[in-house]
């Protein structure tokens, strides 16, 4: 790494003889600026061209070198310019004081030309190295951010593709995955400060929950068409098969986890949602009959979202219900089918869920 000979050096010294000597010494190698006082030096340091290095006399009338140095370091425009203090004071305490104030180096008068040139070159090389490292770190951070964004996009596209695969098998769901994704995100955002849920619901949890939600019915790809697409009511035996979609979905996601070397956070929530979103608060749900808080929160949120959307949507085996009818049924399910606190928030902000339903409305969705 070589020093740019067009580097700019600012000399701040109240002694005109010192300014002349340093100017003569440095001019053959660098662009040199001079200031006869601390006040002038501060103005020049902020100007154009911005100095690459400042040689600063300590003993000056008005603002001394220590005060000038303090102001340089306090100013965002000049805080990173390396400063070498020049002084006739030779005590170790004087040098320590200067370095403590943020000086990069210390030269004792009378100045020796070879030492001055060596120290100047050393500081300019150090500045170049810092700038190179800063630019390199910035480039690396930008690349990491780009790759993380690309990875996030890949995950989202993969999830959406898998969710659409389930949708193709069950075409009547329409925008169901978009609506339920919106519902669970609204529930999580609203409940993140609730005493029961605040320890679990973080911004990251909400992001992963929304990302994972579309996979809640991925297990339906394993249900035979004559059951999945049956236009009428299922028989008892058919219903047994239909209920296996929860376990099937969770097994598929678990297998995907085993196929990668590093566990993926979003797959954990996706597996919870797929496996347990048909569980009920009172233990009468499936596939495991979990009760209350034993049901993962992600699945409890999805349970409300999924049932709400199913009720307001038309299916081959039923008509869509009105929002009022749906609200009544979910209210009746409080503490039976659904977590009571989740239902309380849902009912308190019911209009928000209606708005999400309308935003991603299917032609067959209810009118009001």
State pTM to two decimals.
0.61
11-25, 35-49, 253-267: the lowest-pLDDT one: 253-267
Res 276 pLDDT > 80: yes
Tell me the domain boundaries of the chain.
Answer: 8-140, 170-359
pLDDT in tens, 189-220: 999 999 999 999 999 999 999 988 888 888 88
Res 358 pLDDT > 90: yes
What is the per-residue pLDDT for 315? 78
pLDDT, mean of residues 19-46: 94
What is the per-residue pLDDT for 366? 47
Structure token digits, residue 125: 């090389």
DSSP assignments along 17-41, one per residue: HHHHHHHHHHTTTSEEEEESSHHHH
- Beta strands 31-35 and 53-57 are unpaired
Give the confidence band of 141 by pLDDT, cuts at 50, 70, 90.
Answer: confident
Q: Are 218 and 249 in contact (CB under 8 A)?
A: yes
pLDDT, mean of residues 144-161: 72
170-359 classified as CATH 3.30.360.10? no
pLDDT in tens, 251-260: 988 887 777 6
* Dihedral angle sign, alpha carbons of residues 134, 135, 137, 138: positive
Q: Are 108 and 81 in contact (CB under 8 A)?
A: no
Q: What fold, for 8-140?
A: Rossmann fold (3.40.50)
pLDDT, mean of residues 297-301: 97
């Amino acid at each position: 790494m070589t020093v740019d000979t067009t580097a700019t050096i600012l000399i701040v010294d109240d002694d005109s003889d010192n300014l002349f000597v340093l100017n003569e010494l440095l001019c053959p190698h660098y662009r040199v600026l001079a200031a006869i006082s601390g006040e002038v030096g501060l103005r020049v340091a902020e100007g154009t061209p911005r100095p690459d290095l400042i040689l600063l006399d300590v003993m000056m009338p008005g603002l001394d070198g220590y005060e000038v140095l303090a102001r340089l370091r306090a100013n965002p425009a000049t805080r990173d310019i390396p400063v070498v203090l020049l002084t006739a004071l030779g005590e170790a305490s004087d040098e320590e004081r200067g370095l403590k104030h943020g000086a990069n180096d210390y030269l004792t008068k009378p100045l020796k030309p070879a030492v001055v040139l060596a120290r100047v070159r050393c500081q300019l090389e150090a500045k170049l190295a810092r700038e190179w490292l800063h630019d390199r770190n910035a480039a690396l951070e930008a690349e990491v951010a780009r790759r993380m964004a690309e990875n996030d996009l890949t995950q989202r596209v993969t999830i959406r593709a898998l969710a659409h695969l389930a949708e193709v098998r069950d075409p009547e769901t329409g925008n169901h995955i978009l609506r339920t994704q919106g519902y669970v995100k609204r529930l999580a955002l609203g409940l993140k400060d609730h005493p029961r849920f605040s320890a679990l619901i973080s911004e990251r949890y909400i992001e992963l929950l929304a990302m994972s939600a579309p996979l809640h019915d991925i297990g339906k790809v394993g249900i035979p068409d004559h059951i999945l697409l049956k236009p009428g009511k299922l028989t008892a035996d058919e219903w047994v098969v239909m209920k296996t979609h929860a376990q099937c979905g969770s097994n598929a996601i678990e297998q995907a986890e085993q196929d990668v070397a590093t566990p993926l956070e979003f797959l954990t929530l996706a597996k919870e949602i797929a496996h347990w979103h048909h569980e009920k608060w009172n233990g009468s749900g499936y596939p495991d009959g979990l009760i209350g808080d034993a049901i993962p929160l992600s699945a409890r949120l999805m349970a409300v979202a999924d049932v709400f959307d199913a009720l307001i949507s038309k299916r081959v085996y039923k008509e869509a219900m009105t929002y009022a009818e749906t609200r009544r049924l979910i209210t009746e399910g409080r503490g039976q089918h659904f977590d009571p606190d989740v239902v309380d928030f849902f009912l308190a902000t019911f209009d928000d869920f209606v708005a999400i339903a309308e935003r991603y409305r299917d032609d067959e969705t209810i009118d009001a």
